[in-house]
Amino acid sequence: MIIFTGVAGAGKSMQGRMLADRMGYPWLSTGEFLRMLVAGDRRKAMMAGELLSDQEMIALIQKVLGLLPPDEEYVLDGFPRTPDQAEWLLAQEKAGLLDITAVFQIDASKEVVRERLLSRGRQDDHHEAIEQRFREYEETIVPILEQFKEAGIKVYKIDGEQTVAEVHKNILQVLGY
C-alpha cells in the first residue's frame, strides 16, 4: 500500500492516480468513494465540510480493501484522516493483513492550495470549508504522519508546488523507478 496524504488541493489525488496508472495499481480514493456512496443527510453534512466518523470510514475502507488480493500493491488516497484511523491501519499492518510500502506527504502552501481549490469549482470548495481543511490538516494529519514515523513507516515529504511532472518524477525516484 502506498498512501498519499496532504491538505485538499496539494495534489495528492492527481499524483496518486498518476502513480496507479503508470504502475497498473488500483487507485483507492476515499473522496471518490464518499462522493459515490454517501447519500442523504450524511452527504449534506459532508458537502458542508464535515468528516464522517472513524467507524464509518473504517467500515468503508474495510469493504474496499476486502475486494483486493492481500498481496497486491495499491495506492490509497485520503485515509487515514484521524489518529484512530491511523491506529487501525497500523494495527492491520502489524497483524500482517496489509503492508504499507510508503507514505507520501504532498506539501503545498495555503496560497497555492486555496487558488487550486477555488479554481476547480466543486461545491464543497468554499472559503470556510478550505480554512476548516487547513485546521484539520494541522491538527490531525500532521500528528498522524508522526504516528507513522514512530511505527517505522517511511514518510516522504514531496514539494507539491512543483509542476505535476516534477512531483511525479520525485515520487518515482523515491520508489526506485
What is the secondary structure of 80-109 as a DSSP string? --SHHHHHHHHHHHHTTS----EEEEEE--
Domain boundaries, the chain: 2-174
Q: What is the CATH number of domain 2-174?
A: 3.40.50.300
**Predicted pLDDT at 121:** 81
In the three-class reduction of DSSP (H, G, I as helix; E, B as strand; rest coil), residue 71 is classed as: coil
Give yes or no for residue 122 having a pLDDT over 90.
no
User: pLDDT > 90: what percent of the chain?
Assistant: 69
Question: Helices in the chain by DSSP H: which ranges?
Answer: 12-23, 30-37, 40-47, 54-65, 83-94, 110-120, 127-136, 142-150, 164-174
pLDDT at 71: 84
Q: Label residue 174 exposed, middle or buried (CB < 10 Å: 0-12, 13-18, 19+).
A: middle
Whether residue 69 is predicted with pLDDT greater than 90 in this model: the reply is: no
Reported confidence tier of residue 118, pLDDT bands at 50, 70, 90: very high
Mean pLDDT of the chain: 92
What is the 8-class DSSP label of residue 141?
I
The predicted-structure confidence for 123-142, as pLDDT tens digits, reads as follows 878 888 899 889 989 999 99
Q: Name the residue with higher pLDDT: 148 or 126.
A: 148
Rounded to an integer, what is the distance from CA 102 to the centroid of its chain? 12
Range 151-163 average pLDDT? 97
pTM over 0.95: no
pLDDT given at position 20? 97
Whether 70 shows a pLDDT value over 80: the answer reads no
Tens of pLDDT, residue by residue over 13-43, are: 999 999 999 999 999 998 888 888 788 888 8
With 80 as the cut, is the pLDDT of residue 51 above it?
no
Q: What is the mean pLDDT of residues 84-111?
A: 95
